[in-house]
Amino acid sequence: MPNALSRGLFNLFFGAKRKPFASLPGPQPGILGTAGDFLGASPWDVCARYGREYGGVTLIWMGPNPGLVLNDPALIAEVYESPRRMEFEKGNISEQIRPSTTDDTAFTAELRGDWVQKRALEPSAQPWAPEALADLVGPMQAAISEFVDALLKQERIDFAPALRRLTFDAFSVAQVGEKLPDQVFEDFMLLARAADARIQAKLPLKFVKPPKDFEAVKARFYGHFVDRIREARKRQDPGAVDLMSRYLRETPGIDDQVLAHMLGGTYFGGAFSSSVTLVGAFHQLNKYPGADARLAAEAASLVADGPLTFQKVESAKWAEAVAYEALRILPAVRVMTRTPPKDAQLAGVTLPAGSMIMISNQHLHRDPAHWPDPDTFKPERWLDGGTTRDPLGSGHFFPFGRGPRACVGADFAMVFLKTALTTIASRVKVQLDSTEPFEEGFFFGVVLPKGVTGKLVARTAQASLKAKVG
C-alpha cells in the first residue's frame, strides 16, 4: 500500500477525480495510483486477490486514470454478452499484436467495425466446420504420435517449448494437411516474440522497434500459406480433409491472401494457449497419480482396436474431464481487457473513454462459494452433469472468454486437447522432475509455465490396460 505521503499527493492532485467513484471499493491510490500493485506481480494474481478482498468489482487507478477489475459474473456478462458489449472494445492488445498478425482476421477487428464480417469468414465459423473437425482427429493423432516418439529419445525435456512445437505440428496437419518446415515455425516464433515485446513494453509503442528482418519474416511466414493454397488449387484433391482444402472446395472464390492470413493467424490464436493447457494438465496429473492412471486406462482402451476417431474422442469422458479441469485450475489466459471508446456506464459509475477494464477468470475459476475444493485438481467434478452445470463460457468457467467474441476456435481446441491427452497417455507416461508449483511467466498474452521438466517413459499396452482406475 502506498505510504501516507504518496496517498496525500494523489488526493491533492486528483482528489476531485475520486469523488464520482466513491461508491466502489478498491485499494488506496498513491501518486502512481494503484499501478504499484502490479509491479513485480502477475496481473492475474493481483486481479484474483482483488476479487477475494473487494468482491466483484474493484476500482483501480492507472496514475490519474480510473479503471475496473471485474470478478462479478453479471458485470462480466454485461461487458461480454449483453447488447451493451458494443460499447467495449479489446483495447490496446489489438494494437500491440497487429504488426505480427494481419487485418484479415477477426482477432484484432473492432466490434463496431467489420468484426462480424471477418468472424464469419473464419474456418471454425463455417457450417461445415463440425464435419471437418471430425475428420481431423486421425491426422492429428498421427502427428502427435510421431512427435512423442521423437521426445522419447530425449533424456530431459522442457515441456513448455516441447509441447508448443507438438501443438504447432498437430495444428499444421489439421490446417494444411502436413507438418510445416522448421523455418515456418521459427518465423512464427519471431513474429510472436515481436508481438510479446510490444505487449510487455513499458514505453509507448512507437519506441518499440521490431526485430531485424521483421517485415521479410512476416512476408515469408504468410507467403508460405499462400503458396500452399495455390498448390492445393492446382491439385484439387477431393479426398483432402485439412481445413485449407475443405475451405477451397466449399468456397473456391475465397481470396488466397485472406485465407492464408486466417490460416496463419490460427497459430497465434491457439498454439500457445493449447500447449500451455497440456503442460498444466500433465503437471496436475503428476500430482494426482490416480487421475493419471485413469487417463492411461481410458486411452489404452480407445486405441486398442485401431487409430482414434472422432467418435472415440467424444466418448473419452475422462480425457474431457482432465482437459476441463486443467482449463479451470490453470487457464492459459487469465486476464482479458476491454476499453470503452466513449464514456460508458458500468457498475454504477461513468467510466471515461479509454479506461482500462480488466476481466479476471482466475478468482471465479476457484471461487470457494461455487466450486467444492476449488484448489484441488478433481476431474471427476466434470462427470455426471458437470459440463452442463458449468459449460464453457459460463459465469464461473470461461477459459476461452464469454459471449459472441469468445474464441472462435474453442471447439477445435477441445478436440485437439482430448486427442493429444489420449494419444500421449496411451503411449507414454509423462514423468516430471518436480510437482512443486511451477514459476509462471507471461508470453503473448498467455501464462507461460517455467521449469516444468522431466522425461517420457514408454507404456506397454498391457500395463496401460491394467492401470488402476482411481
Whether 1 shows a pLDDT value over 90: the answer reads: no
Helix 137-151 with 410-427: angle, nearest 10 deg: 50
Q: In terms of pTM, does the model score above 0.85?
A: yes
Domain span at residue 249 reads: 64-465
Residue 432 belongs to a domain:
yes
Structurally, the chain folds into a number of domains equal to 1
Residue 42 belongs to a domain:
no
At 465, the pLDDT band (50, 70, 90 cuts) reads very low
**What average pLDDT does the segment 280-296 reach?**
97
What number of residues does the chain have?
470
Residue 278 belongs to a domain:
yes
Task: Show binding-site residues.
Answer: 407
**What region, left, alpha or beta, does residue 109 occupy, with left being phi > 0 and alpha being psi -120 to 50 degrees?**
beta
Residue 467 has a pLDDT of 43
Mean pLDDT is lowest, of 51-65, 196-210, 388-402, for 196-210
Residue 34 belongs to a domain:
no
Q: For 101-140, what is each residue's pLDDT tens digit?
A: 998 888 888 888 899 999 999 999 999 999 999 999 999 9
Q: For 298-309, what is each residue's pLDDT tens digit?
A: 999 999 999 999
Q: What is the CATH number of the domain that holds 239?
A: 1.10.630.10
Residue 32 belongs to a domain:
no
Task: Show binding-site residues for heme.
Answer: 407
Residue 28 belongs to a domain:
no
Contact in structure between 318 and 288 (CB atoms under 8 Å): no
Q: What are phi and psi for residue 35, nearest 5 degrees? A: -60, -25
Place of cell 471499493: 25
Residue 24 belongs to a domain:
no
Grid coordinates representing 144 are 502427435
Residue 48 belongs to a domain:
no
